[in-house]
Amino acid sequence: MRPVDPSEFAKGPTEGGSARVSEAVARALRARRGDAGAHRPRDPAPSRTAYRMNRLWLTPSVRFFLRRVAPVLAVAGCAAIWFASEENRRAFTDTYAAAKFEIQNRPEFMVKLMAIDGASEGLAEEIREVTSIDFPISSFSLDLQEQLSRVEELDAVESAGLRVRAGGILQVDVKERVPAVVWRGSNGLTLLDAEGHRVAALESRLDRPDLPLIAGEGAEREVAQAIRLLKAARPLENRLRGLVRVGERRWDLVLDRDQVIMLPEKNPLGALAQVIAMDQAKDLLERDATHVDLRRPDRPTLRLTEAAVSEMERLRAIEMGVSFR
Amino acid sequence: MTDLYDAQRAMRNMRKAALQRGVIAILDVGTSKIACLVLRFDGDSFTGGDGVGPLAGQSSFRVIGAATTRSRGVRFGEIEAMAETERAIRTAVQAAQKMAQTRVDHVIACFSGGQPRSYGLAGQVEVETDVVSEQDVARVLAASDVPDYGTHRDVLHAQPVNFALDHRSGLKDPRGQIGQDLAVDMHMLTVDSATIQNLLYAIKRCDLEVAGLASGAYVSGISALVEDEQELGAACVDMGGGATDVSIFMKKHMIFADSVRMGGDHVTSDIAMGLQIPLATAERIKTFYGGVVATGMDDREMIEIGGDSGDWDKDRRTVSRAELIGIIRPRVEEILEGVRDSLDAAGFEHLPSQQIVLTGGASQIPGLVTLAPKILGQNVRIGRPLRVQGLPQAATGAAFAASVGLCLFAAHPQDEWWDFEIPAERYPSRSLKRAVRWFKDNW
């Protein structure tokens, strides 16, 4: 800021002789060496061009362009020129793919085997078959979501969890469906769980004699009610053959000797209790009736066998003293 | 004359555009130094608070770049070597731009040369309706009797100083007042056209747009006089390198300006001639050892003046400080007497307040406070410019009074003649206003 710079002037005399003298000597030496003009102070004024360039550089838009936009453009341009050649493009994609493969197939990322928990022998086999993974496989190429949905699609699987455990193990946690009834449908025998979901097909009824049998169209949708009815029919257990869904709306309880208890659409449990009570009081089911009709619970109706009918008529005739013969 | 008004109006518009952009440079083209300050105007101006006025607008800007350089090619505040001056301006502007880290396109300049001359103008018109309108103000300004100031001179400032309505004088703003005769007193400052043209050309050569021109006397008065001095009446003496500016302020208006074509550089050249030493050495001796009042001690204080001749005797010369003062004092007295003459010519002794403020680089000479009252009268003080925001410490000295005043001028210019409306009669013939007026007069 000082218009006059004191350092331009000579220093005062020093102890070891005048500084001005040494300056003069230095100037003489410089003159002898030939760079006489070097000591002359340079013109501090910028040249017209330098001044204009300086102003241009201080222009905000130019400054922004040169500092932000131009480098990006330069880099992008270089990249574009390099990628313009087919050979370079291929080399780049190959290198990229190789590097990706290299990293994904490191032993840290490999899954070596599958461990299945909570599934029976057959189901485990089935799961292995369905997932069809050939180990070892990189965990990057393992689509857990897809595999999980495949496992969950199996009928015998109620829910499943899938994760890659430490040590490269694919852990499958399965909750298996428990068969509750055997359903005789149009496609043969099927095992159903308590919610009516299919568990597996059954070859023969004798394979699972412990499970009750239900039949009829639409029976598989009302398995819960069927199980409640079967539980209520426990007093008749040793005579019980099964439940038949009639017209997709009501149940028939079938006993041996082709006896049928026709239950109403509404409140079948109450009707069944009524029948059991009648049986226990009057041995109703021991008698010679083919059907116990409770479709109208307030008016139970019996259908008798032909022999029983004729016998009843005979006895009634004796009672009345007439003969039909 | 209309040309100049158009030029002044164009400058005013340029100034507005620059304020819109927010960055403006001020350039003080002096004889010994060229100073450039870059100002940034950011909207949040301090509008004054409890007991604090709006600070005459100097709170609305901030100095973000400042640079000075040694002036080249300027004598008596007038450009003498165009290319040299242009280079010096470039140096200053570039350094200031570098400090501000921004580019400036608009510049407001001041100079002290060009032999400024003051004229007092008076005008009187009858008010058209009862109430004074803007048109009446315009008419009274147009009606003021412009003296014949010469063809080679231009009007630099023309400020209405006082309005009078009937017998009430001292009105600041007569608009909306009720009366019959509106009179105006105006102060007009003219300078040599060539000086202005040269300065404009030099600035244009530096790729800058001129957004305003001001007289050095005026702007240093704005910054060096405090508010009550401006109000009550005071003279500001800006003792520069090549010229000493005198301005008289009254009621916050400049009523007189003059320039004495002598300054610090003449003191330096006296020393150089008297002691037979280079000008640079003389300048250094003046700034380090200079003074105007000699004491007994000064006889014993020897100054090495040296020389570069290689002659041992010549290079070992010394002078006492008293001798140096003996060279400086007559010249300073001569300058102050020139100031006294100028003030006498202006009738300063009739003013109620006789305050004189000395500022400028040459006012820093020690002992001036004791010398000046002997010539100028008792009420003399050394003034430094007002503090403005962001001004570097190095630019707060008395030498920067004009620069700082120019900052204030840029932020808060006084109304000049060309800032008022043009009277309807002077409009070009197709003007709608004139048509309306014709209808009004005839129906």
Band of pLDDT at residue A13, cut at 50, 70 and 90 = very low
Q: Would you state the pLDDT for residue B1?
A: 46
Q: Which CATH class name applies to A179-320?
A: alpha beta
Contacts of A1 in chain B (CB under 8 A): 66-68, 392, 394-395
pLDDT < 50 positions in chain B: 1
Chain A: closest CA distance from residue B418 (Å): 32
Contacts of A9 in chain B (CB under 8 A): 280-281, 284
Cβ of A41 under 8 Å from any chain B Cβ? no
CA distance B264 to A7: 21
**B contact residues 244-283, partner A, Cβ 8 Å cutoff:** 280-281, 283
DSSP B62-111: EEEEEEEEE--SEETTEES-HHHHHHHHHHHHHHHHHHHTS---EEEEEE
The pLDDT of A284-290, averaged and rounded, is: 83
Q: How do residues A77-113 score in pLDDT, each as one tens digit? A: 999 999 999 999 999 999 999 999 999 888 888 888 8
Strand-pair partners of A188: A185
Q: Would you state the pLDDT for residue A68?
A: 94
The partner residue sitting opposite A1, judged by closest CB among B88, B207, B395, is: B395
Q: Would you state the pLDDT for residue B371?
A: 94
Contact between A3 and B101 using a beta-carbon 8 Å cutoff? no
Q: Would you state the pLDDT for residue A226?
A: 86
* For chain A, domain boundaries: 50-101, 107-176, 179-320
Q: Residues B383, B188: contact at Cβ < 8 Å?
A: no
Contact between A51 and B90 using a beta-carbon 8 Å cutoff? yes
Average pLDDT, chain A: 83
- Residue A283 sits at φ, ψ, to 5 deg, of 50, 45
Contacts of A13 in chain B (CB under 8 A): 304
Closest residue in chain B to residue A46, using alpha carbons only: B91
Please give the residue that has the higher pLDDT: either A165 or B244: B244
DSSP B221-259: HHHHS-HHHHHH-EEEEEE-SS-EEEEEEETTEEEEEEE
Cβ of B284 under 8 Å from any chain A Cβ? yes
Contacts of A12 in chain B (CB under 8 A): 304
Contact between A55 and B207 using a beta-carbon 8 Å cutoff? yes
Task: Tell me whether domains B1-114+192-224+386-443 and B117-191 share a fold.
Answer: no
Q: Would you state the pLDDT for residue A20?
A: 58
Counted across chains A and B, CB pairs separated by less than 8 A come out at 63
Per-range mean pLDDT, top range of A94-103, A215-224, A233-242, B154-163: A94-103
Q: Would you state the pLDDT for residue B436?
A: 79
Q: Would you state the pLDDT for residue A234?
A: 84
CB-based burial, B407-426: b 16+ in 10 Å, e otherwise: bbbbbebeebbbebbbbeee
Chain A: closest CA distance from residue B304 (Å): 8
Q: Would you state the pLDDT for residue B428?
A: 58
Is the confidence at residue A12, as pLDDT, over 70?
no
Contact between B33 and A3 using a beta-carbon 8 Å cutoff? yes
* Token digits of residue A243: 């439940």
The partner residue sitting opposite A45, judged by closest CB among B91, B284, B306, is: B91
Q: How do residues B134-189 score in pLDDT, each as one tens digit? A: 888 888 888 888 888 888 888 888 899 989 998 888 888 888 888 889 999 999 99
Percent of chain A with pLDDT over 70: 89
- Which of A51, A62, A67 should one mutate to test binding to chain B, selecting the residue with the greatest count of B CBs within 10 A? A51
The fold of the B264-329 domain, in CATH, is: Nucleotidyltransferase; domain 5 (3.30.420)
Contacts of A24 in chain B (CB under 8 A): 310
CA distance B361 to B62: 23
Q: B117-191 has which CATH code?
A: 3.30.1490.110
| CA atoms within 13 Å, Cβ hemisphere of B307 | 15
Contact between A46 and B94 using a beta-carbon 8 Å cutoff? yes
Helices (H) then strands (E): counts for chain B: 14, 18
**B contact residues 177-196, partner A, Cβ 8 Å cutoff:** none
3-state secondary structure string across A292-318: EECCCCCCCEEEECHHHHHHHHHHHHH
- Please determine, looking at this structure, whether the domain spanning B1-114+192-224+386-443 carries the CATH number 3.40.50.300: no
Q: A107-176 has which CATH code?
A: 3.10.20.310
Contact between B101 and A58 using a beta-carbon 8 Å cutoff? yes
* Token digits of residue B443: 């129906």
CA distance B425 to A242: 120
Cβ of B415 under 8 Å from any chain A Cβ? no
* For chain B, domain boundaries: 1-114+192-224+386-443, 117-191, 264-329
pTM, 2 dp: 0.66
CA distance B389 to B59: 7
Q: How do residues A24-82 score in pLDDT, each as one tens digit? A: 677 777 777 766 555 556 677 888 899 999 899 888 899 899 999 999 999 999 999 99
| Pick from B287, B393, B333, B343: nearest CA to B63 | B393
> What ipTM is given for this predicted complex?
0.79
